[in-house]
Structure 1
């Protein structure tokens, strides 16, 4: 049996989540690459296509961050969140909870808060796969929320939890 200590080439966004969720490393894992050159709608649509895997018992995890600005993170000690980070995180959370997924897809059109919160898309895009995998009659819930080091959101959206 292999162990998470040697993640076998998994991206840190994959193994850092799985080591906490499945510490025995007893689940098969397939990691997908993100084509960050594609528009947000592409990633949401791909999530729609991946939704069929849920019917086969496959757990889809999209690990990233709604707010992920390493250049502006606050190092050392307790760091309060930037106001722009809180506003953007709140806006996306509320849009998810209301089912207004077009806002989530069109995040880049949300002004300066979005530009500061998502300076590059690779950490935000995993959210679109999960939003896309939501069935029409399902609600999205929030399992974890909050902002660390001023500019990193811990928002975790869940669809289909039992």
Structure 2
């Protein structure tokens, strides 16, 4: 499998990780330093949640500061990685017969640039962001990951980001807050089923809502679904690992998954 570029799901957590240095950002930086250099990055973020599927198809995507009530220093940051209209077209071809809109307005939201700025601070690798169609069921997103696997063979890396547990209403803001039991349980459930290789319709992580804690772990699914693209892009028997894990604010999982 050495010819395949890795595929990553990174638990991105708070936008403050951009300004801070911690065990999660250290892991992201190490991945950027040690993984094979890609021709381009296919970014899939929880924060571009759309009706229909789209890709950023401009030469110079803008940096989107899609958050509020954070220090001005965070709003001052730009991630000037180039876009790649040619990669945007390749993604659209790989996902046929699904219609993929060539978007010229979006850019990089903090779910994508917030992790890439740690991995590749020089911003010298082309990045195209793929939206997550919120009208589709989980199996759809897994199948899109399967289609994207062909681009891994062409030298492109998939970097998806979200959080497999994401419940801000149940967050505990005190430092070192003990995770909720349901958050630990669902996070463990994800870890335990990462290597599952049966039929898609029976996959425990495609059918994640069957878990007793799923509704609390994911009141809405947008932060979970990017994981399915990475799992879908995995080839049979391909290595899968967890570069980092942890629960922050009692209800936010920082679990990351590496395929390849």
Maintained 8 Å contact 1:99/1:139: no
> Higher strand share goes to which structure?
2
Partners of 1:103 and 1:63 in 2: how far apart?
Answer: 20
Residue 147 of structure 1, CA deviation: 0.6
Q: How many angstroms apart in 1 are the aligned matches of 2:231 and 2:61?
A: 31
Aligned-partner Cα distance in 2 for 1:31–1:2: 9
For structure 1, the 5+ residue unaligned runs are none
State TM-score, norm by structure 1: 0.91
What's the counterpart of residue 6 of structure 1?
78
What is the alpha-carbon distance in structure 2 between the residues aligned to residue 110 and residue 2 of structure 1? 38
Matches within 5 A, 1:36-75: 36-75=134-173
Per the alignment, residue 154 of structure 1 pairs with: 254
- Residue 2 (structure 1) shift: 9.5
- Is 1:19 the equivalent of 2:117? yes
Cα deviation, residue 7, structure 1: 3.8
Q: Distance in 1 between matches of 2:110 and 2:125?
A: 17
State the secondary structure of the residue aligned to 1:30: strand
Mapping 1:12-161, distance limit 5 Å: 12-99=110-197, 102-111=203-212, 113-160=213-260
Larger helix fraction of residues: 1
When structure 1 is superposed on structure 2, of 93-102 and 39-48 the one drifting more is: 93-102
* Larger deviation, residues 53-62 vs 101-110: 101-110
Displacement of 1:47 in angstroms is 0.2
Deviations 1:41-89 (A, max 9, x none): 0000000000001001101011011100011111132211111000000
Task: Provide the TM-score with structure 2 as the length reference.
Answer: 0.58
How many residue pairs get matched? 159
8 A Cα contact 1:144 1:154, kept in partner: yes
CA shift in 2, pair 1:106/1:3, >3 Å:
closer
Deviations 1:87-142 (A, max 9, x none): 0000110100455670011001212x111001111100000000000001203211
Greater than 3 Å deviation, 4+ residue runs: 1-4, 97-101
